[in-house]
Amino acid sequence: MHTENKDRIQFGTKLIHAKTDIGSHYGAVNVPIYQVSTFHQDVEADNRYDYSRSGNPTREALEQTVAQLEGGSAGFAFASGMAAIASVLCLFKSGDEIIVSHDSYGGTYRVLTQLFSRFGIKTLFVDTTDLAEIEKAVTPNTKGLYIESPSNPFLNVTDIKEASAIAKKHGLITIVDNTFMTPYLQQPLALGADIVIHSATKYIGGHSDVVAGVVVTASEELGKEVKFVQNAFGAVLGPQDSWLLLRGIKTLKVRLEQQQQTAEKLAQWLKEHPLVEHVYYPGLTDHPHHELSKKQASGFGAIISFAVKDEEAAHHFLKTVSLPSVGVSLGGVESILTHPATMSHASIPKETREERGITGSLLRLSVGLEEPEDLQADFAHALESSLISVKTP
């Protein structure tokens, strides 16, 4: 394929044919796994690689791929999503303040309030869906705006373009966690963000077999700063796991297309079920941010949160369903059910969780590739048996 044609290809094709600058050996159609720690140095040449913490061909192929998919200047791969988040937060220094979406992943809350707070970095949790709240929270010490959109677990949607404009006006770095949407559905850099973060464990990997994180920067300048932190801090992704992500990412579009179709059907069905108290999914027309989601993304994603009657009903549901896995992750080919209060958001103090609405009755569903009819039948059985269980003395 000629270079000029490659520049014009559509996203689904780009997933397969991203330019990596990593030469294939012997005509290999995939990037080889360079499972090495060090590289022989030619003392008379400018060597591209010297030590795998500083750079590895397989990891670099992944980093170049995600940078192209997000439309960014540079990409970086880390040992986990939290390693990616923590490395980006290393861009800030003592005395800096960061505005953060109050509806955020528990691990993000923990690292900000229990680790980076030790270094004098202050976090202000605000409702970033309310642009006036962002503006009101800015002080002379504010240096960053950290957004989850859609948020975890309530799928609240922040106007990334407008929020980024506010941040730029005040000289802040805008960081967006794009894990739930992936670059296929949403590209925050094109909306004005400076940095995008993914827990690549989720949709980018897609098969629940690798733990990883990726970061993409809009500018070369920020890229150099993140590169310094990556090399100095050393929380890099290994070549084997980099290769697994390169393999998984090729099916991102087809996986998400199917998962979204099923999610939309399930969300509508759950909304109409008499035993479900509330459904949180941007694809529902009564979701408060439905129109905004349509405007800034090309889909609604495949995560649904929903509340049942009480904590007892939620626990019975988790014990009774047979198809989804019950666990703390998402984005895999199998459906995964999470109980945020005791799993993904357990690190947030109970009082704070409940203030934010994360009660024992809330469940989060990552829709997989099972047939929608089978998932619906499984859920119907679990919900109805929950009612029977509650009524039985």
Q: What is the CATH number of the domain that holds 332?
A: 3.90.1150.10
Q: How confident is the model at residue 3 (pLDDT cuts 50, 70, 90)?
A: very low
Query: How crowded is residue 376: how many other Cβ atoms within 10 Å of its Cβ?
Result: 17
Once rounded to an integer, what is the mean pLDDT over residues 196-210? 98
pLDDT value of position 25: 75
Catalytic residue among 159, 177, 194, 241: 177
Rounded Cα–Cα distance for residues 20 and 358 (Å) = 42
Catalytic residue among 34, 105, 109, 184: 105
3-state secondary structure of 300: coil
- Clarify whether residues 136 and 65 are in a common domain: yes
Checking 246-249 for CB contacts under 8 A at 24+ apart, the result is 246/30, 246/31, 246/58, 246/61, 246/62, 246/65, 247/30, 248/204, 248/205, 248/206, 248/207, 248/210, 249/15, 249/65, 249/66, 249/69, 249/204, 249/205, 249/206
- Clarify whether residues 219 and 169 are in a common domain: yes
Q: How confident is the model at residue 29 (pLDDT cuts 50, 70, 90)?
A: confident
Residue among 26, 317, 84 at smallest CA distance from 202 = 84
CATH of the domain at 221: 3.40.640.10
- Clarify whether residues 39 and 124 are in a common domain: yes
53 carries an active-site annotation: yes
Which of these three, 249, 279, 298, is where a domain ends? 249
Catalytic residue among 53, 122, 294, 309: 53
Identify the residue with better confidence: 168 or 351: 168
Rounded Cα–Cα distance for residues 197 and 47 (Å) = 30
115 Cβ contact partners less than 8 Å away, ≥ 6 residues apart? 86
374 carries an active-site annotation: no
102-156 pLDDT tens trace: 999 999 999 999 999 999 999 999 999 999 999 999 999 999 999 999 999 999 9
- Clarify whether residues 198 and 311 are in a common domain: no
- Clarify whether residues 238 and 261 are in a common domain: no
- Clarify whether residues 66 and 165 are in a common domain: yes
- Clarify whether residues 259 and 234 are in a common domain: no
Query: How crowded is residue 47: how many other Cβ atoms within 10 Å of its Cβ?
Result: 11
- Clarify whether residues 103 and 201 are in a common domain: yes
- Clarify whether residues 228 and 284 are in a common domain: no
Query: By residue range, what is the domain housing residue 52?
Result: 3-249
DSSP string, 135-185: HHH--TTEEEEEEESS-TTT-----HHHHHHHHHHTTPEEEEE-TTTHHHH
177 carries an active-site annotation: yes
8 carries an active-site annotation: no
Which of these three, 214, 249, 284, is where a domain ends? 249
Which of these three, 249, 283, 305, is where a domain ends? 249
Q: How confident is the model at residue 391 (pLDDT cuts 50, 70, 90)?
A: low
pLDDT value of position 393: 46
- Clarify whether residues 149 and 196 are in a common domain: yes
- Clarify whether residues 257 and 244 are in a common domain: no
- Clarify whether residues 20 and 121 are in a common domain: yes
Total domains in the chain come to: 2
